[in-house]
Amino acid sequence: MPHFQKHSEKMSDHKYLESIKEIENLFKFAMKMSVDTHGRPVEKRKEEVASQIFTKICLHLSSILRISPHSSFSKTTKDFEVWDYWKIPGISDTHSG
């Protein structure tokens, strides 16, 4: 799992790139698990809720990776990087949506 820095600490470029790779690997694993279990019926309400939570986490990870510079999912280029940190808390807010 990525190691989260305190607000007052500046993350090194190397550590940032390592963290992005770890998050990408987590996302890729989650997507593989989603494809492998797609369409499987659930028998209990708690299984249905767990599936919905898993889907929400996957969507949040996808959105975060799309706006994170140097992510392979990002649309930014090396010439123009958008460091929009303020969107990430809104995306990852567990109380939204």
Q: Write the pLDDT tens digit of every residue in 44-71.
A: 999 999 999 999 889 888 988 888 888 8
**Count of the separate structural domains present in the chain:** 1
Q: Is residue 97 part of a domain?
A: no
Residue 61: exposure state from Cβ atoms within 10 A (0-12, 13-18, ≥19): buried
Rounded CA separation 51/35 (Å): 13
Q: Is residue 78 part of a domain?
A: yes
Q: Is residue 39 part of a domain?
A: yes
Written as six digits, the tokens of 30 are 């989650």
Q: Is residue 60 part of a domain?
A: yes
- What would the pLDDT profile of 10-50 be if each residue is shown by its tens digit? 778 889 899 999 999 999 999 999 999 888 888 999 999 99
Q: Is residue 6 part of a domain?
A: no
